[in-house]
Structure 1
Amino acid sequence: MPVQAKTFGFGVPWESIAGYSQALQAGETLYISGQVSHDEAGTFIGAGDIDLQTTTAFDNLDLVLGHFGAARNQIVETTLLIVDLRQNFEVVARRHAEYFDGHRPTCTALGVVDLALPDQLIEIGAVVRLDLKP
């Protein structure tokens, strides 16, 4: 029996410009697009501050999880895209561990030259299994 996909967006301009959703639920799997450091209006936060950008991106990840009634411990995979990986990895790794507080999803950290927004240093994507016990 086919399932219907459910999507979610913040309503920020780049969603319609690029034609994507912040998250798409297909069955019991939730695919979350890379979360960045922005406020509710879509204003970028934390130019030059990897720590602030990382915590704000995780805050936005929490907003997406909340929309679907999901919990952090249902995240099975994260993807971290990091500008200046060698310089920024320690901060990002520490914040990742703090965010999950003992839960250990799979994680791929990639160093990149650039991301979509000019001052962006990190983007955090995730895959969630909604059928895991929260």
Structure 2
Amino acid sequence: MATIDVYNHGVPAESAFGYSQAVRSGDLIHVSGQLSLSDSGEFVHADDFAAQLRQTYVNLDKVLDHFGVTRNQVVSQTLYVVDLQRNSEAIMKGNPAYFGDHRPASTVFGVTELTFPGQAVEIAFVVDMKLPA
């Protein structure tokens, strides 16, 4: 039987929208799209892509920490980006800064809008707990 563990940040949107930030099933962790939310669940850094990217990675680290895994165990990421052409350079800087030498599979979608006005990025991960940390 697979082990299931659920993680939430404890922000209002989790119950309002009816989702979890991450679900572990066996050795895989599926992390919902993370975005630039403060600890209290407020959207921060509207219209500042680089700051949103940094805060989103901070929130992803909170999820990874909960499960006792590291960035090196991320096997894939999916980025949803508003105005992809304008923000591609920031992604090219921010992604390697976050992952270092680790290179997960990555898919980037250009989208017209996300949940909050001024939101420019959302990132989802799949993590394999069996990989070396």
When the two structures are superposed, what TM-score results if normalisation uses the length of structure 1?
0.97
Asked whether the 8 Å contact 1:31–1:127 carries over to 2, the reply is yes
In 1, Cα distance between equivalents of 2:124 and 2:92: 14
Shift of 1:38: 1.0
Whether 1:117 aligns to 2:116 is yes
In 2, Cα distance between equivalents of 1:119 and 1:108: 22
Shift of 1:11: 1.1
Shift of 1:92: 1.6
Alignment length (residue pairs): 133
In 1, Cα distance between equivalents of 2:119 and 2:14: 16
- Secondary structure, in 3 states, of the residue corresponding to 1:62? helix
Calculate the aligned-residue CA RMSD, in Å.
0.8
Shift of 1:85: 0.5
In 2, Cα distance between equivalents of 1:5 and 1:113: 34
Matches within 5 A, 1:10-25: 10-25=9-24
Structure 1 residue runs of 4+, over 4 Å off?
Answer: none
Q: 1:126 maps to what in 2?
A: 125
Q: 1:103 maps to what in 2?
A: 102
Shift of 1:93: 2.2
Shift of 1:52: 0.1
Identity, % of aligned pairs? Answer: 41
Asked whether the 8 Å contact 1:50–1:92 carries over to 2, the reply is no
In 2, Cα distance between equivalents of 1:4 and 1:73: 21
